[in-house]
Every structure is written in structure tokens, then in C-alpha cells.
Structure 1
Amino acid sequence: MCAARLSTVVLDARDAHELARFYTRLLGYEMRAEEPHWVLIGPPDGAAGTALAFETEPEYVPPVWPARNPGDQQMMLHLDVEVDDLEAETARAVAEGATLAGEQPQDDVRVLFDPSGHPFCLWVRAAQ
């Protein structure tokens, strides 16, 4: 048995508080801790899920997705968010401040950018 477990994913942003507010709305998370340059959010009490933290980095440069040219800022990670209704949740994410990516590589996935430019994917489980 492994004693280690993933508890939190941390994303840099020019404004940690703005990005935290976006993800609390998108995921139904709640604020857990706030400092001037750092915010922690997570699922409501008792709910399963990984916490997210955001750290203000004044020199943050959004990644380019898909990166095609030498020197493009590379994506370090992206979040996959499972949804029941892809079209409705895509529309809601955009209404909350996300931007739909111009390139969509799969029919059952929507690539979007959060307000800081991090790519994230909404996806639906394929019918079995």
C-alpha cells in the first residue's frame, strides 16, 4: 500500500483569486483558504475530488495550444472535467468566462481555455 496520494493541483496565474472564482463556479467547489497571492479551493465538505490551488505569478505566460512553433509556451498540464451534457456544460463554461478553443480534436471532448489561458477539457463518457 502506498502512503502517498494526490491532494492538490496548483496552477499559476496572473490573478490567483480571479482564477479561483472561475473554478469554484465551474466545478461547484468552495473556498478553503485564501492568502494575498494564493488560494485553495475544493469540493464541498464530504464530496470526493482533488483540490485546486492557484498562485499569483506576475510573469505568468499562458501556454499556446496546440503548440506548433519552436518557442511556443508549452502546456504543462490540463484538467479533464467529466460532464453529463457536453453542449450544455460547454455553454455554461463559456458563460462563466472560458473561451472555446478554435481546434476541437474529438467529438466527445471540448477544449476550452480558462480566464488565465490554461487549456482544460470537458468530456462525456462514451455509451457502452
Structure 2
Amino acid sequence: MAATTLDAPNAHELARFYQRLLGWPVQKEEPGWVEIAPPDGGAGLSFQTEPLYTRPQWPSSRSEQQMMTHLDIEVHDLSSAVDHALALGATVADFQPQSDVRVLCDPAGHPFCLFSR
């Protein structure tokens, strides 16, 4: 697998969020499309502008756009990683199913999890 692609109302804005969150450089950028990847190689993240994008609902409900996928991001210090994500524009999800994982939403509304082993 080369990458996971996230749709967004603005691919460039969402890519900037994840670039700053993960510290990954941009690999490719063109109108409506951005790719970032870890500097040491491996699968990256791509972002695609989708004019009809609808924010997913977390937790899921039958009447709202459901989350189709989410990212799990391992961190060294959960509390400082949450603070960093919030400073970049993430929000903490109201529903937290586990005490050792924090569910946040990126600026486009995609849920993602931060966890520490």
C-alpha cells in the first residue's frame, strides 16, 4: 500500500494539519491533491479535495454521514500529543470509548485516535 487518502473540502488545508501533526514532508502537491509521507519511507497520507464532502459523525448514527475509516497514531506522551493536536486545530470528540486512547477530530471532521503503549 502506498497511502491512505482522505477527502476534504480543501486538500491543502487538511494536508497542512497532518503535516504539522506528524512532522512529515510534502511529497507531491497539485491542485486539489497533496501527498505527505514519513521521511524514512513507508506508506503516507494523501488528501483530495471533494466539493461534496460531508463531515462524518462520531459516534456513528443512522441519520448522519458515518465514519468510514480512522487513523490510529501511536505517541510517546498522550497528554502532550493531545495538546499538540488541539493547538493545530483538532477537537476532542465527546465520546471517548477507552481510557488509554483519545479520540480527536481533525479540522475536516475525520476522527483519529492517539494512543500510547
What's the % identity of the aligned pairs? 57
State the TM-score, normalizing by the size of structure 1: 0.88
Letter in 1 for 2:84: R
Q: Which residue of 2 aligns with 1:23?
A: 18
Q: What amino acid is aligned across from residue 24 of structure 2 in structure 1?
A: Y
Matched length: 117
What TM-score comes out, normalization by structure 2 length?
A: 0.96
Deviations 1:66-99 (A, max 9, x none): 013x221111100000001001100100001100
Map of 1:89 onto structure 2: 81
**Could you say which residue in structure 1 is the equivalent of 2:54?**
61
Aligned mate of 2:31, from 22, 33, 36: 36
Q: CA deviation at 1:27?
A: 0.4
Unaligned runs of 5+ in 1: 1-5
Higher CA-based Rg = 1
1:88-118 residue CA offsets vs partner (Å, 9 max, x unmatched): 1001000011001011111110000001000
The runs of at least 4 aligned residues of structure 1 exceeding 2 Å deviation read none
Quick one: distance in 2 between partners of 1:123 and 1:50?
A: 19
- Deviation of 1:48 (Å): 4.3
Q: CA RMSD in A?
A: 0.9
5+ residue gaps, structure 2: none
